[in-house]
Structure 1
Amino acid sequence: MIAINDLSISFRTPRGVVDAVKHVSLQVAPGEAFGLVGESGSGKSTVLRALAGLAPVVGGTLELDGQVLGNTRSPAFYRQVQMVFQDPYASLHPRFTIDQTLREPLVINGLDSHDARIAKALKDVGLPDTFRYRYPHQLSGGQRQRVAIARAMILEPRILLLDEPTSALDVSVQAEILNLLRGLHQSRGLTMILVSHNLAVVGFLCQRVAVMQRGEVVELADIDAIRAQRVNHDYTRRLLAATEGYRRTTSDAFAI
């Protein structure tokens, strides 16, 4: 469904050109949930934004279902590919009601039956129809992220791009959103790419994982190999060690 071939992305800054992504190649099968993990600044979100048409491609190609994507995307592309952003406090228009937020993509794409589609989108993400006339500031973080997911799903896309969709939420709310995303993935046969720095989150949703460091993919493995720590790169081992959490050492005992 998605083929990334030798992708490179650079940005000009006051200090010179920064190579954010260097020669990345990946393939994602139809209906697969694929994870991109790595520390902040590793290039994983930039790859996602390039797929969504939000970052310019310097080198290499991006393909969707066998078709090469240019820097300019057609309306048909955005019917197929939708993105959920990291911060639910920033991704919703503060002066739009939830009804306006969900109605806008329907108007832009010339779809009919707005009220029925909006009611179904809210139901699919576990929100009552009464939320339609609230504003984002009247919702919790988890509720806002549900609205953002509903906005992405209302066009019935084939591909969902998820940029750290739970990192701005409390742990209990994270679990609710992850369960929601897994349910949508299974019920609709979505192809998903999930960006996260948290291997536990990726392991919950994804079948395969690519590990990125300094703009490059340093490891590609299925989730069972990651869980069993059958990995080849030192950086992946360090990421796995970091997910094990804090371990008290003998020297800490003297600080009590």
Structure 2
Amino acid sequence: MIDIDRALIRFRTKTGHLDAVRDVSLRVEAGEVFGLVGESGCGKSTLLRALAGLVPLADGTMRIGADDAARAPRRDVQMVFQDPYGALHPRFTVDKTLREPLAINGIGDQDARILDALAEVGLSAAFRFRYPHQLSGGQRQRVSIARALIVEPRVLLLDEPTSALDVSVQAEILNLLRRLHRERGLTMILVSHNLAVIGFLCQRIAVMRNGEIVEQLNVDAVRSRDVAHEYTRRLLLATEGYTRGRGMHTERAPEA
């Protein structure tokens, strides 16, 4: 479903240019949940934005199915952003937020689709005419997920979807995403700095550092600590400390 070959993403600066992503190649199969993990600033979110058509490539190729990523139908690839407080228009009700992508893509039966989308992410019809400031962080992120899914995409890109939320709410959103993947058969790429979050949802992961992929491995190797690169080992140690300190036991969380 996703094929990236030697992608280079370059930004101009006052002193020349910055290569935010360098020589990245990876493949994601249809229906797979693939994780991108690494510290802040390593290029993982930039790579996701390029797949969404928001950032141009300087070199290399990206394909979604049979289409170049820059020309793929926009409804096929949808993205959920990190900040649930900044992702929603403050003057749009939930209804208007969900209605807009339907109108842009010429999709009819809007009222029924909006109610179905809210129900799918665990929100009742009572939320339909609320504004973002009347929602909690978890409720806002559920609306963002509903907005992405309402146009029935083939690919869902998730940029740190739980990092701005409380730990208990993180577990609810992760369980929601796992259920949606199971029910819809979506292809997903999940970006996170936390290997515990990646391990909960993903079958395979790529570890990024300084704009490059240093290692690709399956999630069983992560759980058994069977990793080759020293940087991946350091990420695992950092995640273990976070898990012990914060007590995030996502596997035991109830279904959202």
Shorter-chain TM range is over 0.9
CA apart distance, 1:233 = 0.5
**Equivalent in the alignment of 1:174:** 170
Give identity over the alignment, percent: 69
The residue type equivalent to 1:33 in the other structure is: V
Does the Cα contact within 8 Å between 2:8 and 2:24 map onto a contact in 1? yes
Higher-Rg structure is: 1
**Equivalent in the alignment of 1:139:** 135
For these two proteins, the number of residue pairs brought into alignment is 244
| Superposition map of 1:1-256 within 5 A | 1-70=1-70, 73=71, 77-245=73-241
- Runs of 4+ aligned structure 1 residues displaced above 3 Å come to none
In 2, Cα distance between the equivalents of 1:91 and 1:23? 30
CA apart distance, 1:67 = 2.5
> How big is each residue's C-alpha offset from its partner over 1:76-119, in whole Å with a ceiling of 9 and x where there is no partner?
x1111100000000000000000000000111111111100000
Does the Cα contact within 8 Å between 2:4 and 2:24 map onto a contact in 1? yes
In 2, Cα distance between the equivalents of 1:50 and 1:196? 17
Q: TM-score, normalised by structure 1?
A: 0.93
Unaligned runs of 5+ in 1: 249-256
CA apart distance, 1:68 = 2.5
Unaligned runs of 5+ in 2: 246-256
In 2, Cα distance between the equivalents of 1:43 and 1:79? 24
**Equivalent in the alignment of 1:253:** none
In 2, Cα distance between the equivalents of 1:127 and 1:15? 49
> How big is each residue's C-alpha offset from its partner over 1:61-82, in whole Å with a ceiling of 9 and x where there is no partner?
0011132334xx35xx111110
In 2, Cα distance between the equivalents of 1:135 and 1:206? 33
RMSD: 1.3
**Equivalent in the alignment of 1:252:** none
The residue type equivalent to 2:228 in the other structure is: N
Q: TM-score, normalised by structure 2?
A: 0.93
Does the Cα contact within 8 Å between 2:52 and 2:69 map onto a contact in 1? no
